[in-house]
Every structure is written in C-alpha cells, then in structure tokens.
C-alpha cells in the first residue's frame, strides 16, 4: 500500500512541477497547485464546510487573524493552511500562521506552502503555540525526481482525510522531530565520532581505559565500523546473504591488480542482481543529492562486470572507483568500498 501511495505521490508531483511555470501569482498558486494537493489528500475542495477559504479566528475586533484555507471537521477548524506565491521564501512568512495558531484553539496542524515546498507544524510543546520547527517538510521538485523519504510517505499518509487524527498529531509531530534530530546526530557521529562516543563504544566491548594516543586509531576504526554497518544494511536491503565471519575473506577473490585486470578483456553482461545493486546506488545518491548539479553527476556513475567481480565507479573506472561487489562461495556477497569518491556528493551510501 505504501509503495502504491509513493507512486501516486510521485505522479502527482510530476504534474504539479509541469504546470508550476504557469503560476505567476498567489491566486494561480492556490488554484493550480495547493487546492489539487488538498484534493490529493482526499479533502473535498468544493465543500466550504470542509475546505473553507479565508477563514477567520480573531482575538478581538482590533486583532484579526485569518488563513487562506482552514480544513474543518464538524464545522470546527483543525488544519490551517497559509499560502504564498510560488517561489516565495517561507522562512520569514510563518508569523501569520503562528498568530492563527494562537487565536484558533481547535487548530492542531499548520501548513505553510508556496505550492511546491510544504512545511507542516504542530503544537507539540505547548497547546496553541506553534512549534519552532516543522515536523514534516518536502519539495515536490524532489518528489517528482523520485527522491521520496519513507518518513515523508508515512507522514503524508497520516494527514490524509481518512487517517488524520487531530488529537494525536501533536504527539506524532514530537516523535518525528526527535527522530529527525537523532538521525542528524547519528549522521554527524558517523562522519566525525566524538571522543566521548568512541569511549562509550569501547567500554561496551570491554576496553575500559583507552590512552589518548590510541584514540586516533580507535576513532578511525569507529568510522570504518559505521561504513561496514552501512554496507551490511545495503546487502540486507537487496535481500542478499552476508558473510558471517571475517575469515571468509579467504574464499573471496583477491583485489584485482592492474596487470591482472588488464587481462580481463571479456566484460560480461551484468546479472539482474548486479543491475539491482547499480540502480540502488544511483537511486540512493539521487535521494541524497541536494542540488541539481549533484543530481546530474549521478549520470556519470558507471559499471563494469568481470567474472566474480562487479565494479561501480564515478567517471573513471580506476581513479573514480566507488566499490567492487564480489560474489563468493555459496552465493555470499561483499563490498570492497572506497567511499572517498562519494565526497562529490557529500554523502555516504
């Protein structure tokens, strides 16, 4: 079901991106981008008792608040949507939504959008005080390219008309914000483990007192362990068997030296499995690349297939080698990876 929704969301995003160039002002953005999005989530945009434009929630006659759209449940507003013209920076446009959040006691979800970029806010810390940080954000430009995080799919499904639960959205938002922060912390630690973090790991494996001189080596080992963990997760994602022991390396082909590789003139057609590995690498980098130039660089990733070894590289086979994918005995698989070439993308797999 999630994959079906993912594909529908991608198809919808492609359509929105195609017509976005014709949205020259806020009204066009509302009509051609934002209302179709609400309809995509299952809300009846032709029913003013469900999707109400220019909805008011005033503190007093002097301090009036309104949002472009409010989604009502039993005639009570539960979602507030603030719309901006396509291309407007949303960073400095959240004040009006915050004020509406304060004024309308029943609002549980706030959305601000320019028709392609969406930010979703709740009041997970204090009732009717909009959180500082969005618990869900996405750009339809990215979705149209297939860069769809699982958290976006799950988050958006929970906001569909049939699934939306106003009473629990705050708790769900809190979990998502904590999750995002944890992911960022893990990413930072994998790239640059702190000494305290390395020492905790060492203590857990029985090394209680590591000298300062040894910490540099232990830090590098920790980074390597993170990379190995990522490799294992890739194999699991592709549903491939893994090596169980380091001693199994003897059963795998040795790294091919230049003079030996020169003799491998018969390049083989890749198997379906190897094609899956190659496509997974490209799709993962597409998901993680944060600029158009980086996204285009993915087209320069290539492969060569030799007997017992499948090579994936960036631009140049030797100088840009990213990893070798080996098939060992009894259909076991391993990576011999050099992640330094992924600095082009500023990410790891």
pLDDT at 339 over 60: no
E strand or H helix at 56: strand 51-56
Q: According to the model, what pLDDT value does residue 144 have?
A: 93
From residue 322, how far is each of 62, 269, 312 by CA, in Å?
Answer: 63, 19, 6
pLDDT of residue 348: 39
Q: Which of 70-79, 278-287, 332-341 has the lowest mean pLDDT?
A: 332-341
124 pLDDT tier (thresholds 50, 70, 90) = confident
Identify the pLDDT of residue 3: 78
**Separation of alpha carbons 324 and 348, rounded Å:** 16
Q: What is the CATH number of domain 2-166?
A: 3.90.1570.30
Positions of CATH 3.90.1570.30 in the chain: 2-166
Confidence of residue 246 (pLDDT cuts 50, 70, 90): very low
Q: Are strands 309-314 and 321-327 parallel, antiparallel or unpaired?
A: antiparallel
What is the model's pLDDT at position 11?
Answer: 95
Q: Can you give the pLDDT at residue 8?
A: 94
For the residues 129-157, what does the mean pLDDT come to? 91
Write down the mean pLDDT value for the chain: 79
pLDDT at 84: 93
Per-residue pLDDT band at 329 (split at 50, 70, 90): low
Q: Place 262 in a pLDDT band, splitting at 50, 70 and 90.
A: very low
**Structure-token match 């006659």, residue found:** 61
Sorting pLDDT into bands at 50, 70 and 90, what band is 93?
confident
**Is residue 59 over pLDDT 60?**
no
Give me the mean pLDDT over the 252-278 stretch: 54
- On whether the pTM is more than 0.85, the answer is no
Contact yes or no for 129/101 (Cβ under 8 A): yes
Strands 321-327 and 333-337: antiparallel
151, pLDDT greater than 80:
yes
CA distance to 2, 86, 94, 204, per residue, from 131 (Å): 28, 24, 11, 37
pLDDT digits (tens, 9 = 90+) for 1-54: 567 899 999 999 999 999 999 999 999 999 999 999 999 999 999 999 999 999
Per-residue model confidence as pLDDT tens digits over 268-287: 676 777 777 777 776 666 65
Name which residue leads in pLDDT, 331 or 225.
Answer: 225
b/e sequence 4-32, b meaning 16+ C-beta within 10 Å: eebeebbebbeebbeebeebeebebbbeb
Pick from 73-77, 116-120, 201-205, 330-334: least confident: 330-334
Q: Which of 321, 287, 285 is nearest to 302 (CA)?
A: 321
- pLDDT confidence bin for 261, thresholds 50/70/90: very low
The pLDDT confidence band at residue 335, using thresholds 50, 70 and 90, is: low
The 3 state secondary structure assigned to 128-168 is: CECCCCCCEEEEHHHHHCCCCCHHHHHHHHCCCCCCCCCCC
**95-133 burial: b if 16+ Cβ within 10 Å, else e:** ebbbbbbbbbeebbbbbbbbbbbbbbbbbbeeeeebbee
3-state SS string over 209-266?
CCCHHHHHHHHHHHHHHHHHHHHHHHHHHCCCCECCCHHHHHHCCCCCCHHHHCCCCC
69 touches 81 (CB < 8 A) = yes
Instruction: Return the top range by mean pLDDT from 110-124, 164-178, 218-232, 242-256.
Output: 110-124
pLDDT band at 122 (very low <50, low <70, confident <90, very high): very high
CB 214 within 8 A of CB 220: no
Closest alpha carbon to 85 in 113, 108, 106: 113
- Residue 255 scores a pLDDT above 80: no
Which residue in 99, 185, 175, 101 sits closest to 136, CA to CA?
Answer: 175
What percentage of the chain has pLDDT greater than the value 70? 73
Determine contact, residues 97/110, Cβ cutoff 8 Å: yes
pLDDT band, very low/low/confident/very high, at 324 (cuts 50, 70, 90): confident
Query: How much is the average pLDDT of 46-75?
Result: 82
């Amino acid at each position: 079901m999630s994959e079906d929704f993912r594909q529908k969301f991608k198809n919808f995003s492609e359509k929105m991106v195609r017509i976005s160039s014709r949205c020259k002002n806020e009204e066009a953005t509302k009509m051609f981008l934002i209302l179709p999005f609400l309809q995509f989530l299952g809300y009846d945009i032709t029913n003013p008792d469900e999707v109400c434009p220019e909805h008011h929630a005033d503190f007093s006659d002097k301090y009036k608040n309104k949002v472009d759209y409010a989604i009502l449940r039993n005639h009570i507003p539960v979602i507030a949507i603030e719309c901006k013209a396509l291309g407007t920076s949303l960073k400095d446009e959240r004040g009006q939504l915050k004020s509406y959040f304060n004024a309308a006691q029943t609002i549980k979800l706030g959305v601000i959008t320019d028709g392609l970029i969406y930010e979703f806010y709740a009041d997970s810390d204090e009732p009717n005080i909009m959180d500082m940080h969005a618990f869900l954000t996405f750009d339809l430009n990215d979705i149209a390219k297939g860069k769809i995080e699982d958290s976006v799919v799950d988050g958006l499904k929970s906001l569909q008309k049939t699934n939306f639960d106003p009473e629990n959205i705050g708790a769900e938002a809190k979990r998502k914000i904590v999750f995002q922060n944890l992911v960022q912390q893990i990413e930072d630690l994998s790239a640059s483990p702190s000494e305290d973090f390395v020492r905790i790991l060492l203590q857990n494996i029985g090394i209680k007192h590591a000298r300062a001189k040894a910490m540099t080596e232990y830090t590098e080992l920790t980074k390597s362990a993170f990379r190995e963990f990522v490799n294992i997760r890739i194999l699991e994602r592709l549903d491939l068997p893994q090596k169980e022991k380091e001693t199994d390396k003897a059963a795998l082909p040795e790294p091919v030296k230049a003079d030996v590789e020169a003799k491998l003139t018969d390049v083989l057609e890749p198997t379906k499995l190897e094609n899956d590995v190659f496509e997974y690498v490209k799709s993962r980098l597409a998901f993680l690349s944060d600029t158009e130039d980086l996204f285009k660089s993915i087209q320069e990733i290539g492969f060569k297939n030799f007997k017992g070894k499948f090579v994936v590289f960036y631009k140049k086979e030797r100088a840009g080698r990213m990893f070798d994918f080996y098939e060992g005995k009894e259909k076991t698989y391993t990576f011999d990876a050099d992640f330094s070439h992924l600095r082009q993308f500023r990410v790891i797999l």
